[in-house]
Amino acid sequence: MSRAAIRYAKAVLSLAQDKKATGDVQSDMQTIIATVNQSDELKMILNSPLIKNEVKLTSLREIFKNTGDITQKLFDILIHNKRVDLLADVAKQYVVLFDRLHHTQVAKVTTAVPLDKALSDKVSAKVKELTGNEATLENIIDESIIGGFILRVGDLQYNASIANKLTNLKRELSN
């Protein structure tokens, strides 16, 4: 992550706090992240030195026409400063700063089957126990873990999968 992206994200968060719009901007940033991740064409447009800035700005305004004023101003500033290639990084960094501000984080939970309410509550409690913060759960389905779950929160990982337990048991037996 570039330092410039972090600075832009901090500036956007500060402006959003002043305008009491941090939640709306958070929603815009998540939309930007998802859209850029799903579109190779958009990545190409943002990173291409051959495409004029006016075309990039028009494209962003059309693609993200439902975003708020602050997000639209971010497009203007990034285009003006010739840093529009940082858009996705700025959005990701904003989400991190927003979560930090609200003492929440995203926890990636890998399970063999989709999370049900009981397991979701159990995982949320584990996140609270490990980090002291609330977390939004993002469920990843991976049948190879057989059962249980693998929890990733920031740089912490908690592996309570059946596959991991079987691997550990096999290692113990082989010794």
Query: According to the model, what pLDDT value does residue 136 have?
Result: 82
Among residues 64, 24, 73, 10, the alpha carbon closest in space to that of 42 is found at 64
3-100 folds as: Peroxidase; domain 1 (1.10.520)
Cα torsion through 123, 128, 134, 137, rounded to 10: -20
Backbone angles phi, psi at 10, to 5 degrees: -65, -40
Query: According to the model, what pLDDT value does residue 138 have?
Result: 85
pTM score: 0.69
Cite the DSSP H helix spans in the chain. 3-18, 22-38, 40-47, 53-63, 69-80, 87-101, 117-131, 162-174
Distance (Å, whole) CA 79 – CA 55: 10
- Torsion-angle region of residue 169: left (phi > 0), alpha (psi -120 to 50) or beta? alpha
Query: According to the model, what pLDDT value does residue 1 have?
Result: 62
- Intervals of CATH 1.10.520.20 along the chain: 3-100
Token duo for residue 110? 């890998």
**Residue 151 pairs with which residues in a beta bridge?**
109, 158
Residue 107 DSSP one-character state:
E
Token duo for residue 142? 């991976």
Among residues 36, 27, 16, 38, the alpha carbon closest in space to that of 66 is found at 27
**Residue 141 pairs with which residues in a beta bridge?**
111
Average pLDDT, consecutive stretches of 10 residues, N- to C-terminus, the chain (175 residues): 91 95 94 94 94 95 95 96 95 91 84 87 83 84 88 83 89 89
Query: According to the model, what pLDDT value does residue 14 have?
Result: 95
